[in-house]
């Protein structure tokens, strides 16, 4: 792909069907494995595309292979991009979000979590949820649970490394008002009682681990690139917000 034409985004919104099996004809596992390493180490901007590619490792279709090549074409244009951190910025912020029923095959939702420290992404994840949810709020609660666990873990690590970290702000940002209300207020009714276990996962950390939970406007939700394909301009804005810059900047 070294001479391939570049692409402005790593993931496409195209939902057309192409189920022609190409397993055994292409190095799919090796290629996706290389991208997994890159997505986990320094490139959260390709994490969603790589996660989608990983879902069909057992029987990749031609469309999946084209999507993998699209990621390489994106990297062709953005090969000089990487994470940059700012000295002295000690606030820890974690954003969680979910794309409700986004997977067209299983109708499961995709969880996106990103932690920002020193003005850059310190950790991130894009993963398909293990169960099918019945509402956006339920999907968001599952994502919030993952975000809360990440926030508590990073809080403990940074508290050991930095003597003044205990005085810093630690907040989990969620863009779904219903999920925030269910996390902060244990009121149940017949439409939300099945959320109890996941609800208390995030609520327990809110009560016992000293983390804040706040609402964030959907336009400022930094996990958008981890839950669904987004357009080029929006991707560039989010990259800047999480500390991804080119070598020239």
pLDDT of residue 225: 96
Query: Which of 12-16, 51-55, 102-106 is predicted least confidently?
Result: 12-16
Query: pLDDT by residue (tens digit) across 94-150?
Result: 999 999 999 988 999 999 999 999 999 999 999 999 989 888 988 999 999 999 999
Q: How far apart are CA 92 and CA 155, in angstroms?
A: 8
One-character DSSP codes across the chain: -TTSPP-S-SS---------B-BTTB-HHHHHHHHHHHHHHT-GGGHHHHHHHHTTSSS-BHHHHHHHHHHHHHHHHSTTEEE---TT---EEEEEEEETT--TTT---EEEEEEEETTEEEEEEEEE-SS--SSHHHHHHHHHHHHHHHHHHHHHHHHHH-TTGGGS-EEEEES-HHHHHHHHS----TTTGGGHHHHHHHHHHHHHS--EEEE--GGG-TTHHHHS---HHHHHHHHHHTTEEETT-
Q: Which pTM does this prediction carry?
A: 0.90
Domain at 92-246, CATH from 3.90.79.10, 3.30.420.10, 3.90.1300.10, 3.90.1580.10? 3.30.420.10
190-224: pLDDT as tens digits? 555 555 566 567 878 877 777 889 999 998 999 99
Residue 54's pLDDT band (cuts 50, 70, 90):
very high
What local confidence, expressed as pLDDT, does residue 52 receive? 94
Domain boundaries, the chain: 28-79, 92-246
Looking at per-residue pLDDT, the higher value among 27 and 89 belongs to 27
Sign of CA dihedral 37, 40, 42, 48: positive
- The residue among 168 and 117 whose pLDDT is bigger is 117
């Amino acid at each position: 792909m070294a001479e391939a034409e570049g692409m402005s985004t790593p993931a496409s919104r195209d939902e057309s069907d192409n189920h022609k099996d190409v397993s055994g004809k292409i190095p799919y596992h090796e290629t996706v494995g290389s991208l997994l390493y890159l997505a986990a180490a320094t490139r959260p901007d390709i994490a969603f595309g790589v996660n989608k590619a990983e879902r069909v490792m057992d029987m990749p279709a031609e469309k999946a292979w084209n999507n993998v090549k699209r990621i390489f074409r994106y990297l062709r244009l953005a090969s000089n991009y990487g994470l940059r951190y700012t000295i002295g910025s000690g606030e820890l912020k974690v954003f969680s979000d979910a794309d409700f029923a986004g997977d067209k095959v299983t109708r499961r939702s995709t969880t996106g979590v990103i932690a920002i420290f020193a003005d850059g992404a310190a950790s991130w994840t894009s993963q398909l949820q293990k169960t099918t949810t019945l509402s956006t709020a339920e999907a968001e609660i599952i994502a919030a649970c993952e975000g809360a666990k990440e926030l508590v873990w990073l809080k403990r690590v940074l508290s050991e490394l930095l003597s003044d970290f205990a005085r810093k702000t630690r907040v989990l940002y969620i863009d779904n008002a219903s999920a925030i209300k269910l996390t902060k207020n244990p009121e149940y009714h017949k439409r939300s009682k099945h959320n109890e276990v996941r609800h208390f996962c995030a609520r327990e950390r809110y009560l016992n681990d000293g983390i804040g939970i706040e609402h964030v406007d959907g336009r400022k939700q930094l996990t958008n690139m981890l839950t669904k394909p987004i357009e080029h301009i929006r991707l560039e804005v989010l990259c800047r917000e999480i500390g991804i810059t080119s070598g020239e900047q």
